[in-house]
Amino acid sequence: MTRPIVVLKCGGSTLEQLSDSFFEGLRALQEQGKQPVIVHGGGPDIQSMLQQLDIKTEFHDGLRKTTEPVMNVVEMVLAGSVNKRLVTRLRSFGVDAAGLSGCDGGLLECKPISLETLGLVGEVTHVTTNVLEALFLKGIVPVIAPIGVDKEGVHYNINADTAAAAVANALHAEQLMFVTDVPGILKDDKLIQELSISECEALISDGTIYGGMLPKVRAALATLNDRLQQVAIVNGAMKQNNGCIRGTTIKRSLEVV
Ligand SMILES: Nc1ncnc2c1ncn2[C@@H]1O[C@H](COP(=O)(O)OP(=O)(O)O)[C@@H](O)[C@H]1O
Ligand SMILES: CC(=O)N[C@@H](CCC(=O)OP(=O)(O)O)C(=O)O
């Protein structure tokens, strides 16, 4: 029997600020018999490398238009430096972790969203979980860079929030948490602790939820199901209180405790 799966998406905005208690909390999860899986972003690191190389990029609806030269940088940064830095930090806290990208073991199969508008940006069509299951047997925490591969072997750039949601769905995760650089969903600078699906939709419509928060909330809404009744958005830099970080919980039904 596989342990209950907890998928944590660590945003590029927060990777360098992750608190010691975040890593201690992760170790505590393992000690409680849970199997953490990490999917990470790396938007700011990609941006800075593209600037150093003087390669221009543009965004459409929060997604980076990915030409071939951009893709080379995205893969180098995400599957290379960001992934390995995170694995090293986890291991320094006694969490046995191994890094992989969505190409390894055919983990994230994808197809282009729109070659014309977005270039090599992929949407996940299938998650091949074999390689993850092999790591689970050894109690290793997979650390996944959101690079996908299509049937022809072409590599794609996948938004890390949507990659995390696809992984959570495929693994029938018990918990999905988006770890980011804000305390949760804010309205007029105040944290909203709980939201229903319809309240989220209203906050998207009135522009309260915008930019980088949009793919997180959309991914959360797409992932809620009978098994996964709630999704959390939390700040990775905050000190945890008894393994628990306050943030926003998006609930399928507000009656769920
Ligand atoms: N209602 C909101 N509450 C909080 N943050 C929001 C909201 N709407 C948009 N944001 C933005 O979303 C950002 C988080 O998304 P992003 O920068 O993509 O982070 P990550 O790298 O963690 O995915 C916040 O820093 C904030 O600028
Ligand atoms: C298609 C697309 O936009 N991909 C993202 C992948 C990284 C990511 O999602 O990183 P964050 O979680 O830090 O935002 C990008 O190129 O920036």
Which residues are known binding-site members for substrate?
A: 42-43, 64, 157
Q: Is 15 in the pocket of ligand 1 (CB under 6 A)?
A: no
Give the atom of ligand 2 at the shortest distance from the alpha carbon of 9. 12
Which residue's structure tokens are 């899986």?
A: 37
Q: What is the pLDDT of residues 27-84, one digit of tens each?
A: 999 999 999 999 999 999 999 999 999 999 999 988 999 999 999 999 999 999 999 9
CA dist., res. 175 & res. 36, Å (int): 9
Give the atom of ligand 1 at the shortest distance from the alpha carbon of 14. 22
Distance in Å, CA 257 to ligand 2 centroid: 32
ipTM of the prediction greater than 0.85, yes or no = yes
CA dist., res. 75 & res. 157, Å (int): 8
Q: What is the pLDDT of residues 147-172, one digit of tens each?
A: 999 999 999 999 999 999 999 999 99
| Chain length of the chain | 257
> What's this model's pTM, rounded to 2 decimal places?
0.95
Which pLDDT value is given to residue 38? Answer: 98
- Helix, strand, coil distribution of the chain in percent, nearest 5: 35, 30, 35
- Asked if pLDDT for residue 226 goes beyond 90, the answer is no
CA dist., res. 153 & res. 124, Å (int): 14
Which pLDDT value is given to residue 61? Answer: 83
Give the atom of ligand 2 at the shortest distance from the alpha carbon of 121. 1
Distance in Å, CA 195 to ligand 1 centroid: 16
**φ, ψ dihedrals at 62, nearest 5°:** 85, 0
Q: What angle do CA 139, 3, 218 make, to 5 degrees?
A: 105
Which pLDDT value is given to residue 99? Answer: 98
User: Domains of the chain (ranges plus CATH)?
Assistant: 5-251 (3.40.1160.10)
- Asked if pLDDT for residue 236 goes beyond 90, the answer is no
Which residues are known binding-site members?
A: 42-43, 64, 157
